[in-house]
Structure 1
């Protein structure tokens, strides 16, 4: 199979893929639950849906194969493009047993302002686009690069599920686990043997799996704020992710990951494209035990009710 044909075969998610991924990442969102999806008010999806970070991981793995097939890993290494960036817009949901097709466009190389390798990506399902975005390799993070995080206190001594003193950050502490990472890969149609092999004694964490743990952090934050997941469900509209490959390469089983979550005040200047629906934006950071920043990401959500209202008016 040629590199340009590798993404022509469909991916068909079963409910077991969803179960494996949500359990591996502690994501208890009702939209993915094979029973509780029915409890969501006015749920239009008529069944459980695939996790957004599952789709991101599918993209990560196929981009890994694409880079290798096109000999782009050498360019990345020689130019120290240590940041892996994902800009993802969710257009629709992916349901079990409905074929999904991934399209990766040819790599574009830009040198202004600095060297960047970039690819447009799209996922289609049931004849409709469900995801659009870009995957880019850069020497500096594309998202939230200007946030100062070097003046934070020692996060390891701060209680889990609490606010970091002197800041607006909610802290959720997680511990990386090889088994969970392997399960998340398998649930996302990524070959876990490319990352972990006990016989050969190597373990290389994927980029997206640590980021996926932020969904559970948001859910726990909302739970503490008494959010009603059944009557006021929220759906993702986009992810913007910058991951530091250097720190990913150092990850190992049982490493501490301190996830910081900060909600941005809602504003009429920050709305869903071509609508008046205000986005609920979260800036999230994954810090290692040394306070080194593993990832920076923005997640945008909107109430499902607002989307349905907007569709009814069209």
Structure 2
């Protein structure tokens, strides 16, 4: 009897264990099936959301291109053309922001949606700032405020471009690539066009173009040497003694008149010997920024010297203070 009882308990234990195994197996199959069905559903909802965002991103990209065109064509299209286009871009940027904000993402893209929303919010701010900057440019007061507005707008546009890249990087990869999911979107192709020096040239040229009387005004923006300085001594740049220097020069026409055969002259002046000189002539349209190379500037005897580069002046130019860049240098042999 005791033996039979022990056999029944062993058979009962086997059935309980078998039942437990079957239950666990059923649960595992259920979890796997659920995960398998959730994967395609999740991917479908993600794709549906991104399909909705794609044309909005394309609109935003075109807004950035429109801002660049306004900046480059401001002198040609005039005040009314500039303001009309900037109003349209600003309104459309706000519209894109509203549509992105109103679209509910799947839970898996909640963070990505926040990053995209930040991109569009900053871009809407940029469009409004550019509009305000140009409005002040056409205003009566010749202050630096337009340059401030436009420079901040450029900085924020660059930041928004990077934020959009973060958005794309946060998306799930498709066949190992995220770039295939959403298009590239950039508002600033060259950040240098939004630095304060470039914008000061733009604002001055636009203001000059808004008046009917001829305005003659040139400026020297950049001077750099090749080979470059190898060090400094106080305020002087130390240049190596070479057979000849090459100068990279950037000049601009801030006026509203075309200037022809404008002289650009570089002089290296030594206290112990004759000066060395090299020159060229350029044509400048209103608002034009021009880079040129001056070759063959021979060195003066080793020691201290002054490098002086001048554009113009041209007839009728009243303000010549910014036509020149002078730099103390020290020439030193190896």
TM-score normalised by the chain length of structure 2: 0.22
Q: Give the TM-score normalised by the residue count of structure 1.
A: 0.23
In proportion to residue count, which structure has more helix? 2
Instruction: Please tell me whether Structure 1 or Structure 2 has the larger radius of gyration of its CA atoms.
Output: 2
Identify the structure with bigger relative contact order (alpha carbons < 8 Å, sequence gap 6+): 1
